[in-house]
């Protein structure tokens, strides 16, 4: 298997997003907040005529909510909806062979929920982000 992944920095952690989900990377600015939404939902952003739901990754990991200002976001497509996942930085698209392996070391509570496994890229272990889980956020909305 030879899959494409996007290497990004999320909350200071280098991680992988499956490229199949990723549409583009954009700078986003004026975000319309969504009152009553869970903290990791930063708000809505208009990308041309489409509305993105902006996911605050740091808040999803249990950190502080991001403030206003220009941010970099990876646009992902999940279940017919568009999301902007905030990232610190976007590095590169890489092809990595093989299935992700389970991690041995216990992860922090936040990452344990959003990481699907570990993939090795040029000797560096990288967490594979479960995009759907990241969007669902820290709270189990179904419960």
Q: Residues binding another protein: what is the number (CB under 8 A)?
A: 26
- Cα gap 67→92, rounded to integer Å: 26
Of 122, 139, 108, 136, the closest CA to residue 16 belongs to 122
Judged by beta carbon, residue 50 or residue 125, the one nearer another protein is 50
94-133 binders of another protein (CB under 8 A): none
What SS3 state is found at 113? Answer: helix
CB of 54 to another protein, least distance (A): 10
- Cα gap 96→6, rounded to integer Å: 10
Q: Is 90 in the site for another protein (CB under 8 A)?
A: no
Residues at the interface with another protein (CB under 8 A): 30, 32-38, 40-41, 43-46, 48-49, 51, 53, 79, 81-83, 135-137, 141
């Amino acid at each position: 298997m030879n899959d494409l992944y996007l290497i990004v920095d999320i909350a200071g952690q280098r991680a992988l997003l499956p490229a199949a989900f990723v549409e583009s990377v954009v700078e986003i600015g004026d975000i319309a907040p969504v009152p009553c939404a869970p903290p990791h939902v930063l708000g809505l952003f208009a990308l041309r005529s489409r509305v993105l739901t902006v996911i605050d990754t740091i808040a999803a990991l249990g950190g502080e909510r991001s403030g206003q200002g220009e941010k970099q976001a990876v646009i992902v497509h999940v279940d017919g909806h568009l999301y902007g996942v905030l990232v610190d930085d976007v590095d590169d698209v890489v092809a990595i062979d093989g299935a992700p392996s389970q991690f041995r070391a216990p992860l922090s509570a936040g990452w344990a929920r959003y990481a699907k496994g570990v993939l090795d890229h040029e000797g560096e272990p990288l967490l594979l982000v479960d995009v759907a889980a990241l969007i669902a956020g820290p709270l189990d909305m179904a419960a």
